Amino acid sequence: AFYTLARRKTLLPESLGKVGAALGVRPEALLESGDAEIDAMRTLAARAGDIAGRNPGADFDTIRHVLLLLRKDPVERLRRALVRSQ
C-alpha cells in the first residue's frame, strides 16, 4: 500500500479534486477548518460541560445541541421544527 501511495501525485481522493476544480478552489481548502470554528466549538463544549456539571441528570449532548440551536435565528428554528413535525 505504501508504494502505491508513494507513486501517486496526491493523496487526496479524485472526487475532492473534481469538486475543488468545479468550485475554483484548491482541493486542500475544502479540508481546512478555520481556527475560529474550532475555538467556537471548544467554547460551546466547555459551556455545555459547565451546565451539565451543575445539573447532574442532564445529558451533555442534549445541552450541546440546544446551545447550537440557540445560535440560529428563531425563524429558522421554527421552520426546522415545522419541517420535522410533518
Task: Give per-residue pLDDT as tens, 56-73.
Answer: 999 999 999 999 999 999
Q: With bands split at pLDDT 50, 70 and 90, how would you rate the model's confidence at 14? A: confident
Of 36, 38, 66, the residue nearest 51 (C-alpha): 66
Q: Has residue 1 got a pLDDT over 80? A: no
How distant, in Å, are the alpha carbons of 9, 12, 35, 41 from that of 20? 16, 11, 21, 26
When pLDDT is averaged across residues 27-45 and rounded to a whole number, the result is: 82
How distant, in Å, are the alpha carbons of 28, 29, 47, 57, 73 from that of 41? 22, 20, 10, 23, 18
Q: Which run of H or E residues covers position 22?
A: helix 14-23
Chain-wide mean pLDDT for the chain? 87
